[in-house]
Structure 1
C-alpha cells in the first residue's frame, strides 16, 4: 500500500507545480474535463497485479496481450480510460489504469472486458482517486507524440 501511495503522489506532482505558476484559466476546458475550482476531479485508479493463471508463452498469450492493448485503445477512445501503463512487475505489480469516473462499478465493468483479466493473467485492485483534471487530456496529447509510420 505504501508503494501505491507513492505512485499516486507522483501522479499528483504536476498539479502541485501548476499551483506555483498558474497559467491562464481555461473555463471551457475546466468544464469539459470536469474540473472543480482547484482543477481537480475524481477518478478510479486500478492496480493490475499478477493473477492466479499465467498464460504460457505462445500464440494464446500473444493473442491475449494483443486483445489487452486493443481494449486499452477502445476504452481510451471512449474517453473512459485516461491513463494506462506497465509497471516493472516487482511484487507482482504489472500495470495501472486510471479511469475518468468516480464510480467503482463503472470502472470494474470496464476492467472486466480486458483479456488479461478474463484469462486470469492479472487481477485488478480498484481505488478511488482524486487528482488533476488535466489527466483527461493525456490521451489527446499522447497521440500527438506518436510518430507516423512511413
Structure 2
C-alpha cells in the first residue's frame, strides 16, 4: 500500500511539474522574429549620456542633433532601431536610450558611428547586451499611427 501511495504521489508530482504548452504559441511568428523557446531574444540596450564636447555653438549643436534625428529615422527604416527616447533632465547626465535589434556590441558600435551627435561627442553611448521579448519590434508598425504631426 505504501508503494502505491508513493507511486501515486510521484506521478502527481511529475504531472504538476510538467510545463503547460501555451495554446497561443505561434512557432512561425517566433521564427520570423528570431525568438527562442521563451519568445525572447538578445538586443543591445544603449544608454546615451552627455558627451565630452561642451561646445556652446548653437548652430553646431542644432546641426548635429538634426542629423541625430535623421539618423534615427534611417535606423528605424532598416529595422535596427526599435526603441528610442529622451530622459528628463537628471543628475546622471542620462540623455536618452536606444534599443537596437542587433546581435552584438560590435554591430551596435558600427551603427552608432553613423550618428552625428555621437561622432561630435555631444552624446556618449554606453552599450549593454539585453535579453527581451522578441515581439518588441512589432510595436513599430503602430508607432507612426500615434503621431499627429509628421515631425
Distance 1:136 1:23, change over 3 A: farther
Secondary structure at 1:144 match in 2? helix
Instruction: Find the counterpart in structure 1 of residue 13 from structure 2.
Output: none
Gapped runs of 5+ residues in structure 2? 1-21
- State the TM-score, normalizing by the size of structure 1: 0.78
Number of residue equivalences: 128
Instruction: Find the counterpart in structure 1 of residue 75 from structure 2.
Output: 75
Runs of 4+ in 1 over 4 A off after TM superposition: none
CA distance in 1, matches of 2:83, 2:103: 15
Distance 1:78 1:23, change over 3 A: farther
Instruction: Find the counterpart in structure 1 of residue 96 from structure 2.
Output: 95
CA distance in 2, matches of 1:120, 1:70: 17
Distance 1:36 1:120, change over 3 A: same
Instruction: Find the counterpart in structure 2 of residue 116 from structure 1.
Output: 117
- CA offset at residue 100 of structure 1? 0.8
- CA offset at residue 92 of structure 1? 0.6
Q: How does 1:1-150 map to 2 (within 5 A)?
A: 24-56=24-56, 58-90=58-90, 91-147=92-148
Gapped runs of 5+ residues in structure 1? 1-21
- CA offset at residue 48 of structure 1? 0.5
Preserved CA contact (<8 Å) 1:43 1:101: yes
CA distance in 1, matches of 2:142, 2:33: 14
For each residue in 1:39-61, what CA deviation from the matched residue of structure 2 results, as whole angstroms up to 9, or x when unmatched? 10000001001111034252221
CA distance in 1, matches of 2:123, 2:58: 17
- State the TM-score, normalizing by the size of structure 2: 0.77
CA distance in 2, matches of 1:123, 1:57: 18
Preserved CA contact (<8 Å) 1:83 1:138: no
What value does the CA root-mean-square deviation take over the aligned residues? 1.8
Secondary structure at 1:42 match in 2? strand
> Which range moves more in the overlay, 116-125 or 137-146?
137-146
CA distance in 2, matches of 1:138, 1:56: 37
- CA offset at residue 23 of structure 1? 7.9
